[in-house]
Structure 1
Amino acid sequence: MTRVRVREAQVQQLLPGPLRMIVVAVLLLLVGAPMAYVGLASVNSDLDVVAGEFWPSHLVLGNYVSIWSTVDLGSGLLNSFIVCGAVALTCVAVSLGSAYVLVRYAFRGKAMILRGLLALQSVPGTLLVLPVFVLFASTANAVGVQIIGTRWALIVTYLTFALPFSTWVMVTYLRGLPAELDEAAVIDGATPRQILLRIVLPLSWPGMVVSGIFAFLLGWNDVLYASVLTAPDTRTAAVALQVFGATQEGGAIPPYGQLMAAALVCAVPVVALYLVFQRYLVSGLTAGGVK
């Protein structure tokens, strides 16, 4: 028994111990060095950043105070939270019900729908910017309701790209849940709705977290669609940073410290999201990998 465990441990260790430590150290250096530079530059003066100083000679904490007025970061973060939160919650709810039907029921066209979900992932988003803009503009003229420049335009656009991926993630996860649970619930007199809400939903948290986080990040990191479909009062945080950086071009010394500070503030919600849901994220990504 001990030999079997030793062999399993040897198989799991694909690299020798010292070499594995070297690889991990190099990866940490590649990821940590840029983040360390951004963090130090955010509390450094603009002149020192231009001079190439890595370690600040004196701390400039005022950069974190100035960004709320110069970058208009507060409004951008609020719009990002509203849009991305709505997209994530909608994706989780819709993808769970859609995936449950695709996994548990047999009907004509089921395989075509699954292939379509994969095919939609291969369409580059940049090719659809102009068609989406024209569609929203034409719909607004026909209905008489403003669409472009509102948060709803971004929410609908992000759902178009996030829902297929979220549904496929949930399909992969629900395939790992035993169908015997549904059969036992049916014997006890449960309806399909009760099975979905009382049995499948509590067991699907890892998959729901994965689909929700990826849907959230899709909108949080997007600049292309957000810059085209928003107005000054509905700009997301990513667009606010882009506009602030573009307006500083051509000046004497760009406010590098404020740019770095704003970038770190925008990264904090994403990092916190990963830290809070890390356990569910790992189990959700690996679900369906081993049968």
Structure 2
Amino acid sequence: MSTSAIATPGGSRRSRRRTPAGEAHRLLPGPLLAIITVGLCVLVLVPILYIVLASLNTDVGVAEGEFWPSSFSGESYTKIWTTAGLSTGILNSLLVCGLVAVASALLGTVTAYVLVRYTFVGRVTILRGLVGLQSIPGTLMLLPVFVLFSSAGTYFGVTVIGTRWGLFVAYLTFALPFSTWVMVTYLRGLPRELEEAGRVDGASTLTILFRIIVPLSLPAIVVSGIFAFLLGWNDVLFASVLTRPETQTAAVALQIFGTTQEGGALPVYSQMMAAALVCAAPVVLLYLLFQRYLVGGLTAGGVK
């Protein structure tokens, strides 16, 4: 049998492989797919465009219903630092959420490595518990967490409520199970031969973990860290209960600023839009910096 005869069936099989774009065109006609795509983009981009234009407008112009500003002005971006008090809130959010992201990613990686590579009593129960914890609403945990932190101050003389580290512990409690499960899913797809090669060369378990596993798991680590960061950045419920004015986060500061403007003679809509964009900027920047890791981390583990 000639080489061309052998290569032809393989080439035909490769030609029959479906790509995601080909699947989309197979399910929907081309014109309908284009209409749906444009419609979804409009639904997402028009509100964002309105917020940007309103932040560059005056408060009077936004109150009068102007979509396109009659005069562009960046004055709202300078006023919000005094009227909304965003400087302290953003600093606290970056500090607390950044530490939560790093701690949950590192602890989740170490915990997932033990759960995936070692067999011990209770291992399956822990894995099931990680999944079960994701179904518990955070609102149900607000009162128990508040009572627990208050008891720590009463019985141990340790002030937890109103501190940044208390908020850090609360966020880490909710972020760690998700980060661990993300890493468990990812580490299951890494071949054991890499670790065995390291052990042949005399590497210890910690050396294998931090010199082999961590570099290969960087996409999943970034994903778990970003989701942990977002959990704290978007939270208002726990931050409003567990903080004081000097330790409040950006989400709480934005909520208070919006609430104080309700019922006023002339709500400062332009400043509210500017404050919302400023609070969203760190998250957008985070996604832009780590987008290539996000794509790899979210898709890895789904296909073996």
TM over 0.5: yes
Give, in whole Å, the separation in 2 of the partners of 1:120 and 1:84.
20
Aligned ranges for residues 248-287 of structure 1 at < 5 Å?
A: 248-287=261-300
| Larger Cα-atom Rg | 2
Cα separation, 2, equivalents of 1:60 and 1:6: 56
Q: So what's the TM-score if we normalise by structure 1?
A: 0.97
Aligned to 2:119: 106
After alignment, is 130-139 or 16-25 more displaced? 16-25
* 2-structure distance, mates of 1:99, 1:205: 14
Equivalent residues in 2 for 1:155-234, closer than 5 Å: 155-234=168-247
Supply the distance in 1 between the matched residues of 2:162 and 2:220 (Cα, whole angstroms): 33
Match of 1:8 among 5, 18, 27: 18
Q: Tell me, what secondary structure is at the counterpart of 2:125?
A: helix
The partner residue of 2:55 within 42, 62, 84 is: 42
Q: Which runs of 5+ in 1 are unaligned?
A: none
Deviation at 1:190, TM superposition (A): 1.0
Q: Name the structure 2 match of 1:134.
A: 147
How far apart are 1:3 and its partner, in Å? 7.3
Q: Which amino acid aligns with 1:129?
A: L
For residue 52 of structure 1, the aligned residue among 45, 65, 72 is: 65
What amino acid is aligned across from residue 35 of structure 1 in structure 2? I
Which amino acid in the other structure matches residue 276 of structure 1? L
Q: Residues 108-135 of structure 1: CA distance to partner in whole angstroms, max 9, x if unpaired? A: 1111000000111111100111111111
Matched residue of 1:281: which SS?
helix
Give, in whole Å, the separation in 2 of the partners of 1:11 and 1:259. 43
5 Å-filtered alignment, 1:17-36, equals: 17-36=30-49
Change (3 A) 1:189 1:133: same
1:8, CA displacement in angstroms? Answer: 2.4
Map 1:116-155 → 2, pairs under 5 A: 116-155=129-168
Bigger shift: residues 258-267 or 41-50? 41-50
The percent identity for this pair of structures is 63
Aligned mates of 1:119, 1:6 — CA distance in 2: 41
Q: Which 10-residue stretch deviates more, 68-77 or 41-50?
A: 41-50
Matched residues in 1 for 2:152 and 2:188: separation? 39
SS at match of 1:165: helix
Provide the C-alpha distance between the structure 2 equivalents of 1:12 and 1:48, rounded to a whole number of angstroms.
Answer: 43
Structure-2 residue corresponding to 1:244? 257
Distance of aligned partners of 1:11 and 1:260 in 2 relative to their CA distance in 1, 3 Å threshold? closer
Aligned residues: 291
CA separation in 1, counterparts of 2:75 and 2:16? 56
TM-score by length of 2: 0.93
